[in-house]
Amino acid sequence: MKKEKIANSDIAQTLGLGQHTVRRRRLKRWLIVILIAATALILGIRGRTHKPNSVQFKTEEVRRGDLTIIVSATGTLEPTNEVEVGSELSGIVKSVEVDYNDKVKVDQILARLDISKLQAEVTQSKAALKAAEAKVLQAKATVNETRNKLLQLQKVRELSNNKVPSQLDLDAAEAAFERAKADEASAVAAVSQAKATLDTFETDLYKADIRSPIDGVVLTRDVEPGQTVAAAFQAPVLFSLAEDLTQMELHVDVDEADIGQVREGQQAVFTVDAYPNRRFEAQIIQIRYGSQTVDGVVTYETVLKVDNSDLSLRPGMTATADITVKKVENAILVPNGALRFTPPVQEEQVESDGNLLSKIMPHPPHQSKQREEINTDKTQQRVWVLQDGQPVAVPISIDSTDGTSTEVVEGDINPGMAVIVDTMDTNQ
């Protein structure tokens, strides 16, 4: 036995494991125990001082009131009837009789073209007509002559008991008579052709005076005296006339998401940049079925009637219209923030009697006990109210909204009830 102790002592001395090394090991063990105890103490203190309900809720009251649903759209003002006046003839503009903003009447002369060439063509056509009429007289005389000759030959043949003249002479006389009648018909047709040509040139002479087709106001004038008008494949536009500026139209583009709510007869108000503090009234008179797609956005053109008796509005002004598509009176209204609110998930607390290892080791993420249900019916919603300081869901059915408040049509919600719209963290 002594030999084994001596041998172990020798081995310890050989390995350098003396009493000093043993003390160091014991010290390290005590330090580890102290650190573990301190960690457990800190965790315990944090667990006792942690406030699970550190979130406060912001609420707003449910109210009763009127709800107005508005659809906004932008567009431009246009005259009720705008006419572009051009020229069917080519020529040089001799004079311009009107200017911008002038009021004109039907058939009033707006501009005149040089008619020297047209007058010469009219004179030439008149002469051609007279010549054609003279040829008709000549053809009629020939017809009378050949008729008389034919009658004479027929009478002689009758008196001579069909001996003279010969049948050949009689046939020649009949042919001459028929040719004379054909020449007469041709001469008459030539007269009609000459009259038509004269009418054409006289019409062109009349059209050389460019006239107003409506009673209205001159919006634009795109011609000056001395300018050459070339009417080749398309009549050039010289004037733009507005029939009546006291009655105008507002053409707006309504988004496809809102067009289902828009109806003819609905009222609207709009503003223009020229009068930022003034609101003009309008009424929908037409909703066009044709769509317009710009940058992937589909819109439908809607026409509103506008009273412009004071002539303050002008064509081409950009307007922003608010169309009233629905009015709900004495409705129960909840703020839209209450429909968007979802209560925060509360994390499970570590039990105070848990073991030390469970407090030190990291935990897997906690699963929320409350799972949001997927609601495909947008009219079925829920709001949250406070009961004993905790949020409680209240199912409701909703209808219309103006973007700020929403109408409640069914549910255990009464005016004056506080609904949660947001949270406030008190730890911050």
pLDDT digits 0-9 by tens, 42-58: 665 555 544 455 678 88
Q: Determine the Cα–Cα distance for residues 90 and 82; give it in Å rounded to an integer.
A: 24
Average pLDDT, the chain: 85
Q: Which CATH architecture has domain 115-207?
A: Orthogonal Bundle (1.10)
| 259 membership: H or E segment, kind and range | none
Q: Find the range with the poorest average confidence among 62-71, 128-137, 227-236.
A: 227-236
Residue 291: pLDDT band with limits 50, 70, 90 = very high
Residue 353: pLDDT band with limits 50, 70, 90 = very low
Amino acid at 212: S
Q: Can you tell me the mean pLDDT for 205-227?
A: 94
Residue with tokens 């317009």: 292
The answer, yes or no, to whether residue 10 has pLDDT greater than 90, is no
- Burial of 205 per CB tally in 10 Å (0-12, 13-18, 19+): middle
Q: What percent of the chain has pLDDT over 70?
A: 82
pLDDT digits 0-9 by tens, 363-405: 554 444 444 455 556 678 899 998 888 899 999 999 888 889 9
Q: Determine the Cα–Cα distance for residues 385 and 421; give it in Å rounded to an integer.
A: 9
Domain boundaries, the chain: 2-49, 55-65+332-425, 70-80+243-328, 85-108+215-242, 115-207
Give pLDDT, residue 20. Answer: 59
Q: Can you tell me the mean pLDDT for 184-208?
A: 95
The answer, yes or no, to whether residue 425 has pLDDT greater than 80, is no
Give pLDDT, residue 32. Answer: 78
Residue 352: pLDDT band with limits 50, 70, 90 = very low
Give pLDDT, residue 357. Answer: 47
Give pLDDT, residue 371. Answer: 46
Residue 13: pLDDT band with limits 50, 70, 90 = low
CB within 8 A of 418, min separation 6: which ones? 59, 60, 61, 62, 385, 386
CATH number of 70-80+243-328: 2.40.30.170
Give pLDDT, residue 368. Answer: 43
Give pLDDT, residue 389. Answer: 82
Residue 114: pLDDT band with limits 50, 70, 90 = very high
Q: Can you tell me the mean pLDDT for 340-347?
A: 77
Q: Can you tell me the mean pLDDT for 332-349?
A: 80
Residue with tokens 């549910």: 411
Query: How crowded is the C-beta side of 262, counted as CA atoms within 13 Å?
Result: 28
What value does the CA radius of gyration of the chain take, rounded to a whole number of Å?
A: 52
Q: Take residue 260 and report the two structure tokens written for it.
A: 């289902």
- State whether residue 130 is helix, strand or coil: helix
Give pLDDT, residue 5. Answer: 47
Q: Can you tell me the mean pLDDT for 238-257?
A: 94
Residue 350 near residue 80 (C-beta atoms within 8 A): no
Q: Determine the Cα–Cα distance for residues 232 and 331; give it in Å rounded to an integer.
A: 66
pLDDT digits 0-9 by tens, 221-232: 999 999 999 887
pLDDT digits 0-9 by tens, 386-397: 888 889 999 999
In terms of DSSP bridges, do strands 275-294 and 297-307 run parallel, antiparallel, or are they unpaired?
antiparallel
In CATH, what class is 55-65+332-425?
Answer: mainly beta
- Fold held by 85-108+215-242: OB fold (Dihydrolipoamide Acetyltransferase, E2P) (2.40.50)
- Long-range own/partner contacts, residues 43-51 (CB < 8 A, 24 or more apart): 43/350, 43/359, 43/360, 44/352, 44/359, 47/349, 47/350, 47/352, 47/359, 48/352, 50/349, 51/427
The answer, yes or no, to whether residue 72 has pLDDT greater than 50, is yes
The answer, yes or no, to whether residue 139 has pLDDT greater than 60, is yes
Give pLDDT, residue 318. Answer: 97
Give pLDDT, residue 55. Answer: 74
Q: Determine the Cα–Cα distance for residues 59 and 423; give it in Å rounded to an integer.
A: 9
pLDDT digits 0-9 by tens, 16-50: 445 556 566 777 777 777 777 777 776 655 555 44
In this predicted model, which residue has the larger pLDDT, 164 or 197? 197
Q: Find the range with the poorest average confidence among 33-47, 97-111, 259-273.
A: 33-47
Q: Take residue 217 and report the two structure tokens written for it.
A: 């106001």
Q: Take residue 8 and report the two structure tokens written for it.
A: 């172990």
Give pLDDT, residue 53. Answer: 52
Q: Taking CA 182 as the corner, what is the angle to CA 181 and CA 187, rounded to the nearest 5 degrees?
A: 95
Give pLDDT, residue 284. Answer: 97
In this predicted model, which residue has the larger pLDDT, 44 or 88? 88
